[in-house]
Amino acid sequence: MQINRHRPWASAAVAAGLMLAGGAQAASGVAMTPPMGWNSWNHFEAKIDDATVRAQADAMVSSGLRDAGYRYINIDDTWEGERDAQGVIRPNKKFPDMKALADHVHSRGLKLGIYSSPGAKTCAGFEGSLGHEVQDAKTYAAWGIDYLKYDLCSLGDTMRAAGGLEKAQAIEVAAYEKMRDALAATGRPIVYSLCQYGFYQPWRWGPSVGGNLWRTTGDINDKFPRMVQIGFSQAGLSKYAGPGHWNDPDMLEVGNGGMNAVEYRTHMSLWALLAAPLLAGNDLTTMTAETAAILSNKGVIAIDQDALGKQGDRVRQEGPLEVWAKPLSGGAVAVGLFNLSDLPANMTLNAADVGAKGSVAMHDVWADKALGKLKVFKAVVPAHGVVVLRVG
């Protein structure tokens, strides 16, 4: 079943947005570092069911990903059934007992996520939460849900008919506020993921509606050009991220087969420097040792999960060569030297580029190799590749 995830109602126009609202997310105690886990959509799309989710949870443990920091097992669209006479949402026959599934996931030391929409229908045409926000939040809490991905989808029809950007944005903001309040009323800590593709600058108003993370882009796919387009478009957004509220450039494609290992390391490295959520999107039960090694690299994950909670940003760009840096706790800096060209390239990092005075300790993160104290680092970076350094 191929589902069209494009949203033709979304125009290129973007409203000015509301200003950042502060620390409600931090107070909730969830997503203090970017969420790490797995989501069903990128690999399975509509072919997801109870048995598959259980298998992914088990594989997250046996593969070592849980011990590497991955915690959430997130069910995307197509789990939804009909509402009963009282309006309570029921899962469809693919998910016979959602509470039992949550119990299984929790027994593995993991958390369970689910998906809905503030519109009447989800992207795949299943039951959305419009008019049932309080009921759905109570149901999720009763099942033991720990994470909600809330996908704009059919609410766009209402927004498009609103007659102007300000009215459309007001509809969107109000919809996300309704579910924020409904989730809060349950008393259960639930990560709140706003999936609305960056419309109306959600990095400015996401915290005010309770978002722990918000999509900044359209959907990713498993091709190097699309990953590059999405990832490097995050330049300039670093000031909007922090503990409890994160920019989300969409899920990881590592291991799905559309890129090679060099490109997947670039993908993983960039997301870590961006302090982005790390949500694997492959089949954990069949992944290769190489894929598992990319997803579980301790040094790269430590950059993403650094307690300072700073998102990295672009330091300089020369054509297809880019240098990005992310401040780390303790005064160190993570640096990525990216070569987006189709041929190997010589790249240089001066310690002064990231604020160091004189020689400073440098560590090659992917090679896990101390490089000594250097004023200047030089490397041949492979085509579509990256060198990640810890400086200081």
Active site positions, annotated: 151, 219
Q: Which two tokens stand for residue 174?
A: 């109000």
List the one residue out of 153, 154, 159, 157 whose CA is nearest residue 171.
Answer: 159
For the chain, what is the HEC assignment? CCCCCCCCCCCCCCCCCCCCCCCHHHHHCCCCCCCEEEECHHHHCCCCCHHHHHHHHHHHHHCCHHHHCCCEEECCCCCEEEECCCCCEEECCCCCCHHHHHHHHHHCCCEEEEEECCCCECCCCCECCCCCHHHHHHHHHHHCCCEEEEECCCHHHHHHCCCCHHHHHHHHHHHHHHHHHHHHHHCCCCEEEEECCCCCCHHHHCHHHCCCEEECCCCCCCCHHHHHHHHHCCCCCHHHCECCEEEECCCCCCCCCCCCHHHHHHHHHHHHHCCCCEEECCCCCCCCHHHHHHHCCHHHHHHHCCCCCCCCEEEEEECCEEEEEEECHHHCEEEEEEECCCCCEEEEEEHHHHCCCCCEEEEECCCCEEEEEECEEEEEECCCCEEEEEEC
